[in-house]
Structure 1
């Protein structure tokens, strides 16, 4: 970390750029740069530490983030005007650096809901899950009618009723990759330990049939699943009436659940970043990586995702894979994404958003190296498809887009009972039924948006707080939120529109 009052940071001795920690005006000097700057530099942006020739690799974190599109002088701004992707190839060295971290034997617990499946919830909701877009409005009508009637007034142990609605389930193939992905997602939510009970509602004629979700495999083992279709029940009004009756019975069951001490090994954290900036890989993401390692050392599970946002850093993960097979599973997903973007007229470097670039990020390689820091240093235990149930402890990867609501939807379907989300530009969102902790990458944004942010990681720069101390702070908040403390997004009521299944394939 920088010395007090340093205005730029050198992240690795091999880097040929430094990152500005504050706005620097033309003619000023930057730490680690020997000449006056020829132009203004915004905080979070890169400055050439020495001359960089056209075609030469630009290095940050000791890793390649692209190549110079023209000659770059010492002190010049390094960004989209003079930095491009270049060729992308990696030496994966599968399973070459996977030494396990020392386990922590200290017994830590949280107050959670132990389910009959053996899993543990951090919340106690009733879910109204829809098989298709066509049943979404009726699901909302039922939830609104339950709220107006005060249905939960007599059930203090129930956190609420959550309608899970979406925009798909029909107009799709019934046997392709897109169908399988949606099926996994809906099944994962139906099994989620943060739901004490589920009411599943379909229209009746959709591709994603309720009978398949219920009869194709048993998606609840505790019996707290009820289901109906609008067509068979007799239309909107009768379905609302029938739904309210079912919710009343489900609430009686759900209200029996009580928080009890549960080992922190039952916590599964989905790790996300959104609205990233030049600080992402310096403050919040590596601090979250330390918290991830702490949870893994306690026997818990952390999930890194957003495959399009580890592109350029995947070689750091394959080396940590517990086996060659696990490393190859990750690269198979990367190759799938290269094909997926190509056949849809895109490319992997389309990922950095305008906001990312305004915050100082230039290429997907640079963004990915910062994003991968969320994964800490634990061995990579396994790689899962979107929404696939995570059945192994430790640090794992789940395939997903970089679109945050979609990626989190997959992580929750896979079993995440806590989400931790880092942001530099100021993302606002929340994800029922799983609470979401927001980490601010920089103090300036935290000051503007403190009502949405739970922890300021910008003090790693402004106050020289150590990453280790910040990681411990995050870890302790994870335990408190798992035990019932409400993070800011939950207090604000987020979660009503953030269920976004990944739609793959043709809409017909």
Structure 2
């Protein structure tokens, strides 16, 4: 028999009285005793991983968050490590009740403010960029060359006279041709590009094409009812006389835009103008304990101040969608969400895939075992307020409050859709250390644990590890995150911005057949 030593109750966290597991807050050796559970650990338990609190038979459902996260693949003894070797995906029915958890939103009497930029048409920005968009991959090199001419790190004098311009960024992609002209893929791409073309964080935009591509710039503009003008200009390589002349033409156009772009000023504006995209990537066993609930608390504050928060990543709410339908303001909204989940089930089936191919390798190392477990932690980012609307990918957000936008779980694709929908700020939780940015909207990174914060502080904006070690509460961190939202929206650079992230992470969702 191994020797038994007593460890602090803070060595493990119980999330609900009905749970069958607790979560290790540090590495635990075999024989360690968790006093609060009267539990002796059997075998090595990595930090963030699950420990069985009762004996379970093969085939028996296992609960975390008081929700089923899988079934035992073999008998599991009390004190054992619960992970991929003995816990598998569960197929079970879920009751999709609608609106049973609705409650009135208590709006702030004196709404919070931030220092924002009001555009001439009333839209509100958190940043002030000039953007260069491409209709097709063939014009990506030209677009990047135009933007590179104005890089502050390489050409510090190019924008020296324009301190109020945050930069000139080129957002390129690998799509735009060999695609069905009447298909869903082209429609989604055009919706995404149009959303960026009118994003308030862009003072003005250049649209660059090759000239002969399927995705004609005129088609993008017509699909969204947009017209070219002084702040939305377009041209092609073929019409401009080739690569060198196109680059020179683009540089001249940007120079013409800079003086007007520099005239912006920041002013106090209500937080109701904030539209915050919620993301989690590189998740771990702590995500659903610390950073995600803390971000959810901040979202509740944002909604009470009249703002909007967008939850997305549909494959990563799979198995937890029934918790969201309970908060839907109407059956229609709840059914919209279920329709998107059903679309994903069909999409995976016809492509020979499965929604439970998640979590990723890194998620599993961090303690997550099934997509059910990951999803239940992921939805915590959405806080507790009512679900007021459901949108398709890159569809314009026009509601206030907590909303859902359909997207893949792959973070760059999901966040690209959120920004196209109007998000002027992103909050991104991570337990493994995702590095990400999404120009033109700033991105705040939230670490789920202190070890990650200490290892990757240059990339992380907020440490939520205090929830794990007991030094901070979810509510306290929610207040901190909300204040950081306001600061970042007011112009304070996020870590990802300081590190130069944002241009390469523009990844529109690729749908449909490429021929």
Q: Shorter-chain-normalised TM-score: which range?
A: over 0.9
Q: Which among 486, 501, 504 is matched to residue 511 of structure 2? A: 504
Task: Tell me the residue number matched to 1:124.
Answer: 128
Measure how far apart 1:31 and its partner are. 4.3
Report the CA distance between 1:460 and its aligned residue.
Answer: 1.3
* CA 1:137–1:58: 2 relative to 1, 3 Å: same
- Residue 53 of structure 1: CA displacement? 1.3
Cα distance between partner residues in 2 of 1:216 and 1:151: 35
Query: Cα gap change, 1:444/1:217 in structure 2, threshold over 3 Å: closer, same or farther?
Result: closer
Give the superposition deviation at 1:223. 4.4
Residue 48 (structure 1) aligned with residue 52 (structure 2):
yes
Deviates more, 1:498-507 or 1:95-104: 95-104
Cα offset, 1:88, TM superposition: 3.4
* Separation in 1, partners of 2:68, 2:74: 16
Instruction: Tell me if 1:133 matches 2:137.
Output: yes
Match for residue 16 of structure 1?
20
Q: What SS class does the counterpart of residue 289 from structure 1 fall into?
A: helix
Q: Per-residue deviation at 1:345?
A: 1.5
Gaps of 5+ in 1: none
Separation of aligned partners in 1, 2:388 and 2:49 = 34
2:269 is aligned, of 262, 268, 275, to 262
Instruction: Report the Cα distance in structure 2 between the residues aligned to 1:368 and 1:149, rounded to whole angstroms.
Output: 45
Corresponding residue to 1:384 among 391, 398, 417:
391
* Residue 4 (structure 2) aligns with: none
Match for residue 114 of structure 1? 118
Q: Please, which runs of 5 or more residues in structure 2 have no aligned partner?
A: 1-6
Please list the CA deviations of residues 276-304 of structure 1 after superposition, one character each: whole Å capped at 9, or x if unmatched: 00000000000000000000000000000
Aligned position for 1:489 = 496
Aligned equivalent of 1:243: 250
Of 59, 70, 73 in structure 2, the residue corresponding to residue 66 of structure 1 is 70
3-state DSSP of counterpart to 2:149: helix
1:4–1:397 Cα change, 3 Å: farther
Q: What is the rounded CA distance, in whole Å, between the counterparts of 1:329 and 1:31 in structure 2? A: 46
Task: Check if 1:208 corresponds to 2:215.
Answer: yes
Q: CA deviation at 1:145?
A: 2.6
Q: Deviations over 1:88-121 (max 9, x none)?
A: 3211101221212211121321111111332210
Of 445, 452, 461, the match for 1:445: 452
| SS in structure 2 of the partner of residue 154 of structure 1 | coil
Q: 1:11 to 1:217 in 2, by over 3 A?
A: closer
Contact 1:190–1:220 at 8 Å: present in 2 too? no
> Aligned with 1:135: secondary structure?
helix
Aligned counterpart for 2:349 among listed residues 338, 342, 352? 342
Shift of 1:151: 3.6
CA separation in 2, counterparts of 1:242 and 1:218?
26
Match of 1:302, SS? Answer: strand
Residues 444 and 149 of structure 1: CA distance in aligned 2, closer, same or farther (over 3 Å): closer
CA distance in 2 between counterparts of 1:386 and 1:398 reads 6
Q: How far off its partner does 1:221 sit?
A: 8.9
Shift of the 297–221 alpha-carbon distance from structure 1 to 2, 3 Å rule, reads farther
Displacement of 1:5 = 5.1
Q: How far does residue 269 in structure 1 lie from its aligned partner after superposition? A: 0.5
2:372 to 365, 372, 384: 365
Q: 1:409 aligns with which of 401, 404, 416?
A: 416
In structure 2, the residue matched to 1:430 is 437
Q: Name the SS for the 1:493 alignment partner.
A: coil
Q: Under a length normalisation based on structure 2, what TM-score does the superposition of the two structures give?
A: 0.96
Separation (CA, whole Å) in 2 of partners of 1:400 and 1:324: 21
Kept after mapping to 2: 8 A contact 1:439/1:457:
yes
- The residue aligned with 1:191 is 198
Structure 1 residue aligned with 2:106: 102
* 1:465 and 2:472 are equivalent in the alignment: yes
Aligned-partner SS, 2:435: coil
Q: More displaced, 83-92 or 348-357?
A: 83-92
- Residue 150 of structure 1: how far off its partner (Å): 3.7
2:328, 2:387 within 8 Å by CA — same for their partners in 1?
Answer: yes
- Residues 292, 375 of structure 1: 8 Å contact kept: yes
Q: Distance in 1 between matches of 2:117 and 2:275?
A: 14
Q: CA RMSD in A?
A: 1.5
Match of residue 95 from structure 2: 91
Among residues 435, 438, 463, which one is paired with 1:456 in the alignment? 463
Shift of 1:35: 4.2
Q: State whether residues 283 and 431 of structure 2, in contact with CA within 8 Å, keep that contact through their aligned partners in structure 1.
A: yes
Answer whether contact 2:389 2:399 (CA < 8 A) is retained.
yes
320-329 or 148-157, larger mean C-alpha shift: 148-157
Does the CA-based 8 Å contact 1:311-1:365 persist in structure 2?
yes
Q: How has the CA–CA distance of structure 1 residues 397 and 4 changed in structure 2, closer, same or farther, with 3 Å as cutoff?
A: farther
Q: Does 1:173 align with 2:173?
A: no
* 3-state SS, counterpart of residue 429 of structure 2: strand
Q: 1:253, CA displacement in angstroms?
A: 2.1
